[in-house]
Amino acid sequence: MMDEFGLYPREEPFDPLGVMLFKALQVIAFLFFLALLAVSPDSKDGKIESKAEFIITMDWPDNHPDDLDLFVQDPAGNIAWYRHREAGFLTLDRDDRGGANDFIVVNGKKIASPIREEIVTLRGVVAGEYTVNVSHFQATTGEPVQANVKVQKLNPTAQVIFDDKLTVDHTGDEKTAVRFRLDAEGKVINVDRRPKSLLETFRSSWRNGADLDPNTGVPRSGVRVLDRKSTRLNSSH
């Protein structure tokens, strides 16, 4: 309503009913928010709801063209790697081929990802020793490459059981990052870095000791067949 000078007043008349309705809506909204908090599950620090028991990651410098591979062996001898991505409870979730496949095509254009990382998850617990190795599949640059390997236990709370670096320096180079042992409940009872070739396991299990029972040290088959080269070496002693 205009005043006698033809101007609108600076402030609208006070409406107590409108203010009361606005305040009532604020109270209702606040009570609704409290109700949502009451029915939501409790969260605890470090609590991760995950179907995986362990996650093993290996990464190397961003945008690096070299191809590194992650190999993980379980106590039963199953090995997860790029040609066998599901082995027992082990799953290779991503095979990163360095500069060869780290891109997607959108509208005919390549969008590259700089991240270099491979991930293996363990979705069940088998008591015994697990071995984590890194292999330098293709040394495009001809230079040594430093990789970081991390093993995390996810349940019941997140826990890093290993996090360290290693270097591979030529095509075919293989290094053991870590070996860790679990009990029947999934508790980590030992961690060490004793070398063990998993690539050699593919060629001959006894050369690598993969045919030995980890508890007794006795071959599972009961018999170890020596090749001619090893026979000559033994006879020379």
In a domain, 182, yes or no: yes
| Cα–Cα distance for residue pair 179/190, rounded to 1 Å | 8
How distant, in Å, are the alpha carbons of 13, 51, 55, 80, 196 from that of 89? 72, 11, 12, 9, 21
| Cα–Cα distance for residue pair 99/88, rounded to 1 Å | 30
- Cα three-residue angle 211-91-194, rounded to 5 degrees: 45
Q: Can you count the helices (H) and strands (E) in the chain? A: 4, 13
B/e letters for 11-30, b = 16+ CB within 10 Å, e = fewer, are: eeeeeeeeeeeeeeeeeeee
pLDDT value, residue 201: 81
Query: Out of 116-130, 192-206, 209-223, which region has the weakest mean confidence (pLDDT)?
Result: 209-223
Can you tell me the mean pLDDT for 190-199? Answer: 95
**pLDDT at residue 94 tops 80:** yes
**Over pLDDT 90: what percentage of the chain?**
48
In a domain, 14, yes or no: no
| Cα–Cα distance for residue pair 40/43, rounded to 1 Å | 9
Residues 6+ apart with CB under 8 A from 99: 63, 64, 65, 140
Total domains in the fold of the chain: 1
- Is pTM beyond 0.75 here? no
**Over pLDDT 70: what percentage of the chain?**
65
In a domain, 166, yes or no: yes
In a domain, 49, yes or no: no
**Strand partners for 106:** 109
Q: What is the pLDDT of residues 132-191, one digit of tens each?
A: 999 999 898 989 999 999 999 999 899 999 999 999 999 999 999 999 999 999 999 999
pLDDT value, residue 204: 62
pLDDT value, residue 133: 98
In a domain, 47, yes or no: no
Contact assessment for residue 129 and residue 176, using Cβ atoms and an 8 Å cutoff:
no
CATH number for 63: 2.60.60
In a domain, 84, yes or no: yes
Identify the domain containing residue 90 by its residue range.
54-212
| Cα–Cα distance for residue pair 124/154, rounded to 1 Å | 12
In a domain, 16, yes or no: no
| Cα–Cα distance for residue pair 97/65, rounded to 1 Å | 8
Q: What is the pLDDT of residues 20-79, one digit of tens each?
A: 766 667 767 767 666 666 654 444 444 444 579 999 999 999 989 999 999 999 999 999
In a domain, 129, yes or no: yes
DSSP 8-state class, residue 98: G
Place of tokens 């349940």: 155
DSSP 8-state class, residue 12: P
- For residue 118, the surrounding DSSP H or E stretch is strand 116-122
Q: Are strands 54-60 and 103-106 parallel, antiparallel or unpaired?
A: unpaired
